[in-house]
Amino acid sequence: MQSSAKKTRLHLGANSLNPKGLYWIWFMIPALAFYVVFMAYPMLESLRLSFFTGNYGNRVFVGFSNFIKLFSDSDHSERFFNAFKNTAIFFAVHMLVQNVLGIVFAVLLTNTHMRGRKIYQTIIFVPTTFAVLVTGYLWKLLLSPVWSKPFLTGMGLGALAKPWLGMESTALLFVSLVSCWQWIGIPTMMFVAALRNISEDIYEAAYIDGATGWQVFWGIKLPLLKPIIGMITILTFVNNFNAFDIVFAMENVNGAPGYSTDLIGTLFYRLGIAGQHPIGIPDPGMGAAVSTLIFIMLAIVSILILRRTETKG
Amino acid sequence: MHAGSHAVLILWSAIVIFPLYIMVINSFKDRLSIYKDTFNLPKIWHISNYTDVLSSGDFMRYFLNSFIAVIVSLALVVILGTLASYALAQWRGRWSTFLHFFFMAGMMLPIKIASIKLLEIIRILGLLNSVWALIPIYVAMGLPIAVFVLTEFIRQIPKDLLEAALIDGCGRLGILKKIVAPLLRPAIATVAIYNLIPFWNDLWFPLIFISDEKSKTLLLGVTRLFGQYQTDWSKVLAVLTLSSLPVLTLYLLFSKHFIKGMTSGAIKG
């Protein structure tokens, strides 16, 4: 009885011009199944697991002790705050180099009468199609003194041929710059798209009134780009707090030399997945605690940035 | 005119192209001449680096594994995404708004932070060390952007067109197949391109799920070969060149679509 009633409703739904959820949900079930089982559920579970210790099967609730360990236990906290600081520097370099150059390139590329724009765009975007791993390996070889020395000595710059990736003071900077080299095409093209949406008339009017190129940039273009700057900041932030491949390729999962390139991403890998040196046993609870902190940070920063850059009206 | 602009852009273009040039030309040199004569085209073009890498057999298997994972995932993202978007675009109600929002949340959150639990799920499903472990995860990763792009697109199709077909006796699935799907082609291309790069270039999930040689993906293979050929850089460069060739070729053929696809929906990098 019940099933036949359901069938009739489904049938009616299918033929009516405005069927209800009971009908449409069938179209969504396959996508929802994948999305829930492999994204929503594990993400929520990873948050919950931050309050537990041990592996699947013999898990014990420990309250906030994973977080307390991360913040105050001498071994863990040193690594955690170091990774946090390095990730902040990594992010700062991306903001200053990748995103500032992105704006510069976008402004140059939207000069309507310039020739060769398409070619420049294509070239700037090329590295984004490479795997981070490949980019990292390639630059690791290029920056190695074995290669850079003969080249730079030939140019009279032999002093510059140093093992930049092997020195604690410079490794993180060079890793960050290589990452900027790779991703600069994304902000560039997003700024290009945003600048194209701004009506030409606005600049024309400003130029007729005697404004200089710089004044137009600071006074008109930059304020109009504010929402997209916010978007790109969030994007950069999300990607930087996830970054792992670049350090894996150019240094190693320990963030060599001397943990100077250890990011939140590599710390997460060691704590939760691979196990810390020298014990080598992963602690899912600690890993989950790190991912919970990443989650909280992303949420807070995204909301703050969206609030600040939202255009009114 | 624009001399300054050209100077800046040419300088950056050189910074982009120079490493790639070094990579490609030195992959055709022999082991020692890459140190003595790094910057010139090879005097003799050695293809032995490539034939060695390709004939070892491993490389082709890595390539095939990646290819299977990416193609199956992309197909599932497109098919399941289209079905879900078709429903979301037409079903108006509290629940559809919620489900739409639910999918969108996945665009802001990096799936990597779910890794701890995903590792357990994959282990329980018995998919550890199999290339099939990657597929459901890539599908879950790709669905939010697919739903986002495709729902918007289907909403722009005139309702009259769909209703007329319905009155003519065409079923909802028939309408999807005969009317909606052909119109969706450009949007589907955007979705496929947007997801192709993160799927193909993903190192993280293969790294945490797969340690078995048979099931390694291309990038995992590259990490192995990078270690193995450490003292033979020309071979390393051949491996790097070969591994980036497929996507690079597609990019150079369809650069406009790639740039549009990767930046228009770019909530993620």
Q: Distance between CA atoms of B192 and B186, rounded to whole angstroms?
A: 10
- Beta-carbon contacts of A292 under 8 Å, excluding residues fewer than 6 positions away, are A46, A47, A50, A67, B113
pLDDT at A12 over 60: no
Query: Distance from A84 to chain B by nearest Cα, in Å?
Result: 16
Q: Distance between CA atoms of A253 and A272, rounded to whole angstroms?
A: 13
Domains in chain B: boundaries? 59-264
Query: Distance from B119 to chain A by nearest Cα, in Å?
Result: 9
Secondary structure of residue B2 in the 3-state scheme = coil
Provide the number of CB pairs (under 8 Å) joining chain A to chain B.
260
Nearest to A245 by CA among B23, B269, B233: B269
Secondary structure of residue A60 in the 3-state scheme = strand
Q: What is the reported pLDDT for A311?
A: 53
Residues in B closer than 8 angstroms to A273, CB to CB, are 115-116, 119, 208
**Least reliable range by pLDDT among A6-20, A106-120, A269-283, B92-106:** A6-20
Q: Answer with the residue of higher pLDDT: B161 or B202.
A: B202
Q: Give the pLDDT mean for A211-240.
A: 88
Q: Which of A17-26, A78-87, A298-307 has the highest mean pLDDT?
A: A78-87
Q: Give the pLDDT mean for B209-237.
A: 92
Q: Answer with the residue of higher pLDDT: A300 or A156.
A: A300
**Domain A66-309, CATH number (from 1.10.3720.10, 3.40.47.10, 3.40.190.10, 3.40.50.720):** 1.10.3720.10
Please, what's the b/e burial string for B183-218 (b: 16 or more CB within 10 A of its CB; e: otherwise)? ebeebbebbbbbbbbbbbbbbbbbbbbbeeeebbbb
Nearest to A97 by CA among B15, B41, B153, B107: B15
Secondary structure of residue A281 in the 3-state scheme = coil
Query: Distance from A143 to chain B by nearest Cα, in Å?
Result: 10
**Least reliable range by pLDDT among A106-110, A272-276, B95-99, B134-138:** A272-276
Number of residues in chain A: 313
Q: What is the reported pLDDT for A312?
A: 45
pLDDT at B164 over 80: yes
**Least reliable range by pLDDT among A303-307, B94-98, B122-126:** A303-307
**Least reliable range by pLDDT among A204-208, B156-160, B253-257, B259-263:** B259-263
pLDDT at A169 over 90: yes
Q: Answer with the residue of higher pLDDT: A8 or A49.
A: A49
Q: What is the reported pLDDT for B3?
A: 84
Please provide the average confidence, as pLDDT, over all residues in chain A. 87
Q: Distance between CA atoms of A99 and A180, rounded to whole angstroms?
A: 9
- Cα–Cα distances in angstroms (integers) from residue B80 to residues A30, A168, A300, B98, in the given order: 6, 48, 32, 18
Q: Which CATH number is B59-264 given? A: 1.10.3720.10
Q: Distance between CA atoms of A88 and B126, rounded to whole angstroms?
A: 38
pLDDT digits (tens, 9 = 90+) for B224-256: 999 888 888 899 999 999 999 999 999 999 888
Q: What is the reported pLDDT for A217?
A: 86
B113 contacts A291? CB cut-off 8 A: yes
SS (H, E, C) A215-258: HHHHHHHHHHCHHHHHHHHHHHHHHHCCCCHHHHHHCCCCCCCC
Nearest to A31 among B13, B117, B143 (CB): B143
Report how far apart the first and last C-alpha atoms of chain B are (Å, whole number): 34
* Model confidence band, residue A11 (pLDDT cutoffs 50, 70, 90): very low
Q: Give the pLDDT mean for A157-173.
A: 90
A133 contacts B108? CB cut-off 8 A: no
* Model confidence band, residue A216 (pLDDT cutoffs 50, 70, 90): confident
CATH 1.10.3720.10 occupies which residues in chain A? 66-309
ipTM score assigned to the predicted complex = 0.93
pLDDT at A10 over 70: no
pLDDT digits (tens, 9 = 90+) for A142-152: 999 888 887 77
Taking the Cβ of residue A258 and every Cβ of chain B, the question of whether any pair is shorter than 8 Å is answered with: no
Q: Distance between CA atoms of B25 and B192, rounded to whole angstroms?
A: 32
B180: Cα separation from own chain's centroid? 25
- Beta-carbon contacts of A72 under 8 Å, excluding residues fewer than 6 positions away, are none
pLDDT at A126 over 70: yes
Query: Distance from A24 to chain B by nearest Cα, in Å?
Result: 5
Q: Which residue do the tokens 């011009």 mark?
A: A17
Q: Give the pLDDT mean for B135-147.
A: 96
A105 and A190 Cβ atoms separated by less than 8 Å: no
- The verdict on whether omega for the bond into residue B136 sits within 30 degrees of 0, i.e. cis, is no
pLDDT at A161 over 50: yes
B233 contacts A141? CB cut-off 8 A: yes
B80 contacts A186? CB cut-off 8 A: no
Please provide the average confidence, as pLDDT, over all residues in chain B. 90
Structure tokens at B163: 């209703």
Nearest to B200 by CA among A133, A64, A62: A133
pLDDT digits (tens, 9 = 90+) for A42-66: 999 999 999 999 888 888 999 999 9
Taking the Cβ of residue A19 and every Cβ of chain B, the question of whether any pair is shorter than 8 Å is answered with: yes
Query: Distance from A96 to chain B by nearest Cα, in Å?
Result: 16
Report how far apart the first and last C-alpha atoms of chain A are (Å, whole number): 55
Nearest to A114 among B5, B35, B137 (CB): B5
Taking the Cβ of residue A217 and every Cβ of chain B, the question of whether any pair is shorter than 8 Å is answered with: no
pLDDT digits (tens, 9 = 90+) for B56-77: 878 999 999 999 999 999 999 9
Q: What is the reported pLDDT for A113?
A: 72
Give the residue from chain B lying closest to A264, CA to CA. B113
Q: What is the reported pLDDT for A5?
A: 44
A130 contacts B244? CB cut-off 8 A: yes
